[in-house]
Amino acid sequence: MALFKATVKSSRTVNGVRLEKGMTVDFPSQYSSPLITNGGKEVIDAFMRRYGVDIKKANAVSSVYIEVVKIS
């Protein structure tokens, strides 16, 4: 299982959800592309745990808005 870091690329407010540029979460994943695999559930859950924001509701589950890099 690998460790990934997901970072919000730019600030935005959509559907009442505010995302700030630089918001970052670290999370483990068994997938090589966690943002597109399984609907991005691992990334969505990580942002919900850390910040209490729903990036799915903000329509931000995309590489346009979130950068995901493998840490280890």
Average the pLDDT over 35-59 and give the result.
97
Task: Report the chain's mean pLDDT, rounded to a whole number.
Answer: 96
Res 63: pLDDT: 96
3-state secondary structure the chain: CEEEEEEECCCEEECCEEECCCCEEEEEECCCCCCCHHHHHHHHHHHHHHHCCCCCCCCCCCCCCEEEEECC
State the residue range of the domain holding 33.
2-70
Strands 66-70 and 2-8: antiparallel
Res 28: pLDDT: 96
Name the pTM for this structure. Answer: 0.94
Of all residues in the chain, what percent carry a pLDDT higher than 90?
97
Average the pLDDT over 5-23 and give the result.
97
